[in-house]
Amino acid sequence: MLTPRVKLADVAKVVGVSTATVSRVVNGKPGVAEATRTAVLAGLETLGYRIDDPQGTHEGLIAVMVPELGNPTFGSFANELVIQLAAADRRMVLCTSGPGGTSEDQYLDLLAGVAVDGLISVSGTAADTLGTNDHYQRLLAGGMPTVFINAYDATIPGAFFNTSDAEAISQSVGHLRRYGHTRIGLALGQQRYLPAQRKAEAFLALGLPAESIVSTIFSIEGGQAAASRLLDAGHTAIVCGSDVMALGAIREVRSRGLEVPDDISIVGYDDSALMPFTSPALTTVRQPIAALCQAAVEALLSAMAGAPADPAEILFHPDLIIRRSTGPVHDR
């Protein structure tokens, strides 16, 4: 690695390349054109920097980027990736890029000084349709193998592994319709995020009205606020964009002196670890987290071994887990 005074960003600015490219040259990684490698080495020499620690103390690290861990689903992804990477004899460094903390692009700059061999991004900026993914473009252009879970951006030449939002909504709505519900609402987080957009599109495609969709934020408070509006509009069932939102919806139902599912049916999304133990146990759509993580790790290791990247999106089938938070419709 570089001596303590070295800033990879300074070298990158002088040479006109990304910090990720400088890092790959410094750590002797493949995937950098010979002319670029020569220019980076010349830049290092010009600036008086030297390279030491040839032992490669951090060699073999895989960076995993997840949002804040307050949502148990992201913790489940991180835990599964630890297991999968350990089985492949790889060590993982976990980066949490939640609101108010270190952003993904800032993390990538920090990681540029470490011998990171690959990156897995879970529900990151590639899922934000209003955000910029220039940092991932630079990373991939610099030769860093990168894969994405629950995100998609056609401009990024990476591999994407997603749960089918269309199937999740179809399963949830179909289940509620079989119970006789016709006034079904959809509570989502911000529409800027691709999973929320896809769920809304699938909901409308089933013939349900746009006014039955309420977007707030992916939190208990967001779920409660969305449920309040949907209950005021006379809905008898609510499909939620996350289990956390579903818990907020249940809280709103009870605050009105109503019961789940006797008065209102609630469906979540994710099947977080504690959902079988809520009161009532939550009917929810289970993401195939283990399968998603296994596919992502296999694709990453393949890319790290030099296999050409396949910039495709692969959709995984979710499963509706029926518990006690849904039941037959009762007119209110």
Q: What average pLDDT does this structure show over 119-145?
A: 85
Backbone angles phi, psi at 47, to 5 degrees: -85, 0
- Could you tell me the pTM of the whole model? 0.79
| β-sheet bridge partners, residue 51 | 2
pLDDT at 54 over 50: no
pLDDT at 4 over 50: no
pLDDT of residue 262: 96
170-199 residue pLDDT tens: 999 999 999 999 999 999 999 999 999 999
- Number of other residues whose CB lies within 10 A of the CB of residue 197: 17
Q: Which two tokens stand for residue 205?
A: 């495609």
What is the phi-psi region of residue 293: left when phi exceeds 0, alpha when psi lies from -120 to 50, beta otherwise? alpha
* Pick from 12-21, 155-164, 205-214, 231-240: least confident: 12-21
- Band of pLDDT at residue 15, cut at 50, 70 and 90: confident
pLDDT at 55 over 50: no
- Number of other residues whose CB lies within 10 A of the CB of residue 86: 11
67-109 residue pLDDT tens: 877 788 999 999 999 999 988 888 888 888 766 667 777 887 7
pLDDT of residue 122: 95
Q: What average pLDDT does this structure show over 52-62?
A: 54
Query: Going by C-beta distance under 8 Å and a sequence separation of 6 or more, which residues neighbour residue 146?
Result: 118, 119, 120, 121, 136, 139, 140, 158, 300, 303
